[in-house]
Structure 1
Amino acid sequence: MTTKKKKKKKNDAGAAQQLQSQQVASGSKFSQEKLHAKVLKVTAKLQKPGLLSDRRQTLQLKLDKLMAHLARMADAAGPAAAPPQPASVAPGLSLKFTAPRAGSALKAGLAGVAAVKAQTPEELARRLQRNRRFHDCCQPVSGTQSKKETLRAARAAALTEVYGENANLEKEYLRLTSMPTLDAVRPPHVLHSALKLVQARWLQDANYAYACEQLKSIRQDLTVQHICDKLTVYTYETHARIALEVPDYAEFHQCQTMLKQLFSEGVPGNRMEFASYGLLYTATHNATQLTQELRGLGQAVKHPYLQHALQAITAYQQQDCAAFLDLYADAPRMSPYLMDTLLDKLRSRALKAWIFAYLPSFPLALLQLQLGFDSRKEAAEFAVAEGAVVDMGLVDAKLSRSAVVGPLGPGGG
């Protein structure tokens, strides 16, 4: 009797355990069916065209959570537990992402999930990854962007620096409307040769339109490749010097501003030379900023180039023609090109002062000597251009007073 009772009790326990397992499996099956349905629903939404990036990111996060949940359920159920088959899907079909068809299908956008076969969460994850790759490849490309590999894309994919592949020494300057391609940008060694060519052509024919365009093109290629070294400084210094000769002060100021930034970042170059140019340019075009310009130089003001520039500015402000002309004769590098503007203003002030100081006239020889003209003819041309009356080698001060207009003193002219 005891043995029979034990067997019966054991059989009842086994039946109860089996019933519990069936209930758990049934609940798991029901839960997995719901998760599969949600996965398909979210996947279909992800395939819709025109999704905003924020919305796409939200759906992607939701899908990742669902897939992780499915994976945990599969691990808990054990290897023997197979994912359920949705009742609405015919057996033998697999998860498929369909591409758009011609005609009416294009209006509807990408087709959704065609059919689903009972499969593991790992299979769903693999197919989802393939769908992401498909989506990335099918993103619309701007109409202005070339199909060729862009410089930015090449650099992003490489482990080392990538430079352009264009080998032309001369290249038209065009404003960029999209990222340049590799074959549209010249590498550093080509840019160095191109710069040498521009310098040689400038010495040969002094064609500023050609030189300015080519230098801008070189600067652009340096910029898009993020090259900030001696070559960059050399390019901007060359452009600034050529612009001074023309003169093209707007272009010079652009180059001067960029050089100041490069020097502040520690890139070597002719820093003191261009700092002195900066002082003279400021005195000529924006004298109110001269104090601020000096404040930024610090102890560098002791350099001979800067001392010369400061002395020239002082002589100009004090209307000391003799001192200014002496400094003009000894000006370093290309300082005379910037001093020319100050000298013209200084001469104009002096002429007006003499016209109101001398009666009835004064000789052109005095004008030539005191204002540093090379000849009496040059002095006469200057006086006439200022409105003075010149006759028989003399400046008629009385007649010139009615023609010459403008305030006197250091602020006049």
Structure 2
Amino acid sequence: MSRGRIGNRPTKSPVLQTTATRKAISARHSSHSPSSLQLAAESNKSANPVTHYRPPTSGLIASLPRSWIPYAELVRLDKPVGTYYLFFPCIFSTLLAAPMAPHATILQIVGTTGLFFTGALIMRGAGCAINDLWDRNLDPHVERTKFRPIARGALSPEQAILFTGTQLLAGLGVLLQFPTQCLWYGIPSLLLVTTYPLAKRFTNYPQIILGLTFSWGAIMGFPALGVDLLANPDALKSAAALYSSCVAWTVLYDMIYAHMDIKDDVAAGIKSIALRHEHNTKSILSGLAATQVALLAVAGVTAGAGPVFFVGSCGSAIITLGVMIWKVQLKNVQNCWWWFNNGCLFTGGGIALGLLLEYLAQAFGFHEKEESKLETSPTPR
């Protein structure tokens, strides 16, 4: 009798006890460990960008109506640095061409600069939309891009195409405000805008195509101020050198930018110069910086620039590019973004300021005064 009871509770047979124990362990284990169905659900959840997307709660985009937010995100309204990179070559060429222009006034230069900035803002947005349309099947696999409007399904490709067409028409409207010859120089750039996203699939150097695209403004400033490139050999040489310098600059800064996506690019099969030269990036950056400054100097020489340009524009480019290449941490995503974002203003702003001071020096006859002093100074006997 005593063996049949423990604390007045009936015992179970060993078989029943073993079965109950297994059920208890299984239940306890399932309560703490996810089932295969749960794991699959979590996997799908993490693969779907929509489940992780959070609308902006601060900044310019957050203040827009909710239905406008995907369109603002599509044109990167919250990341204006791309507009600055597109605008700087325009202002470089405008200021470099100004002393060569027959009747360029300060008011005309300011108006031309304003039109270029408006055009850069519109066309940069159109370029981003075209890029996202091409990359809509790649973006969901890259951490930095998986929340973009088309990738997460907030905008359909048809909506994006319609919006892009509207932007291109607006860009054409801006282009028509310039002299007629600008139209013939500006239209070919559209071909480059549409081909860059494709280059990422076929070559390790898509940044070169991006450079050819983003640097187009380095040509546009000359015809915008009435300088005929085909009739003025010096202006043509200067524009070609400035354009090539800006291409080198674009490849340089976008190589830093590409380092933010190296791991995801490998998985997604996206090609870039950062992947091709991952282990000697800083040597490549140094070579690009030297090329950029050398070509910038050639542009100044052929345009007849004075010492203010070489000290201000070329000197500031040497310093800012050198510091950036020395300081940037290519394995640190946040650090790469900081230098990409701020290096634009450091280098681009320095070059533009040097060009502005050079224009003012020539406009007010500073160089002529210096030359006259040298001519009238007594020669040693």
Normalising by structure 2, we get a TM-score of 0.25
- Output the TM-score relative to the length of structure 1: 0.24
Higher Rg of the two aligned structures: 1
Greater percentage in helix: 2
For CA contacts below 8 A with separation 6 or more, give which structure has more relative contact order: 2
